[in-house]
Amino acid sequence: MKDKIAYITGGSKGIGFGIAEAILKEGGKVAITSRSLTSSEKAAKELKERTGNEAVLPIEADVRILESQNAAVNRVLSTWGRIDVVVANAGLGHFGSIEELSLDQWNETIDTNLTGVFNTIKSSLVSLKESKGFFITISSLAGTNFFAGGAAYNASKFGLTGFTQAVMLDLRKYGIRVSTIMPGSVATYFNGHTPSASDDWKIQIEDIGEMVVNLVKLNPRTLPSKIEVRPSVPPSA
C-alpha cells in the first residue's frame, strides 16, 4: 500500500474514516470527502495525529452531484497525479413503513447510496484505467436481506450490490478490480447512533479498513468480487 493513492467518499467518519486510517498506517495517501469541509478537515487532522502520516487531503464534495465528484477527483489528480483506489463509501439511511416514507427521504436515499456511487465511478474511471486500480463499494447485508421498514434502504443497497457486480464485469478487461463489501452491524455513527461499549460485539471500523487493505494487497490475478461480513457472535446467538 505504500504511496498508493486512495479516494474515499464519506471519509470523515465511520467506515470511511476507518478505511482511511488503515491505508495511512500502511504508508498510503488518502483523499477524504464530506459534504462539510469543516468535517473533512477535522477528520484529516485526527487521521494525521493517529497515524503520523501527513498525506491526507480533505475535500468538500457531494456524491449526489456528478460535477461535484468531477471536481473532487480533479483535486486529487492535481495534488498527487493519479488515483489507485476508489472507495465509494458515502451513504445514509431513512427507515420506516412505506406508509410513512416520504418522497424526499426516498430520493435522498437513492440519490446518495446508489446514484452517488454511479457518479463516483464515472468521475474516476479514466484515472482507474490509467492506474489499473481498484474500485470498492460499501454495500450492506441489507443489499441481500430485506426487512420491514427498509424499503428505501433495501432498494438502494440491493441496487448497489447489483450495480457493483455489473461494473466489475464491465471493467475487468481494463485491469480494474471491482469489489463490494457488505457489512452487517458496524459500530458507527450511522443513523444518529453514538458508538459505545455496548457495541463491542459489532464489526469495528478498523476491521473494514483492514479488509480493504487486504483486498488491495491481494495478487491482482484473484478478485473477491462480493464479500459478506458479519459479527462473529451477535448478542442473540
Is 153 catalytic? The answer is: yes
Question: Which residue is catalytic, options 7, 153, 174, 189?
Answer: 153
Q: Is 80 left (phi over 0), alpha (psi -120 to 50) or beta?
A: alpha
End-to-end CA distance of the chain: 36
- In the three-class reduction of DSSP (H, G, I as helix; E, B as strand; rest coil), residue 8 is classed as strand
Overall size of the chain counted in residues: 237
**What is the SS3 string spanning the chain?**
CCCCEEEECCCCCHHHHHHHHHHHHCCCEEEEEECCHHHHHHHHHHHHHHHCCCCEEEEECCCCCHHHHHHHHHHHHHHHCCCCEEEECCCCCCCCCCCCCCHHHHHHHHHHHHHHHHHHHHHHHHHHHHHCCEEEEECCHHHCCCCCCCHHHHHHHHHHHHHHHHHHHHHHHHCCEEEEEEECCECCCHHHCCCCHHHCCCECHHHHHHHHHHHHHCCCCCCCCEEEECCCCCCCC
So which residues are the catalytic ones? Answer: 153
